[in-house]
Amino acid sequence: MVKGKPTTPELKSYKVNATSISGKADAGTMVFVKIGSKTQTVIARDDNTFTLKVAKLTKGNKIAVYAKDNAGNKSNTKTYTVK
């Protein structure tokens, strides 16, 4: 675990019609994924990756991601747009 705030999660897979997204985040952090008005969470695995099932993505969806560690430190938020 990194001291201070966690690294901002990075999405690696978030394509049109996908029903899951995946990315990288600090191991053990809680990753928050907001699509529209719905926020879901997932814990990053020991290999610093995460996968989350989501409603089917459509072109133009905005996906905001951030992480929190066990101490409550929050990363920066990064927003992706489905293309």
- Residues of the chain with pLDDT > 70, as a percent, come to 96
End-to-end CA distance of the chain: give it in Å, rounded: 33
Contacts of 15 by beta carbon, 8 Å cutoff, 6+ apart: 57, 82
Contacts of 11 by beta carbon, 8 Å cutoff, 6+ apart: 21, 22, 23, 63, 65, 78, 80
Does pLDDT of 3 surpass 70? no
Q: Is residue 40 part of a domain?
A: yes
Q: Is residue 76 part of a domain?
A: yes
Taking the C-alpha atoms of residue 57 and residue 11, their distance in angstroms, rounded to an integer, is 14
The pTM of this model reads: 0.93
Domain limits for position 35:
10-81
How many domains would you assign to the chain? 1
> pLDDT category, 2, cuts 50, 70, 90?
very low
Taking the C-alpha atoms of residue 36 and residue 61, their distance in angstroms, rounded to an integer, is 7
Q: Is residue 19 part of a domain?
A: yes
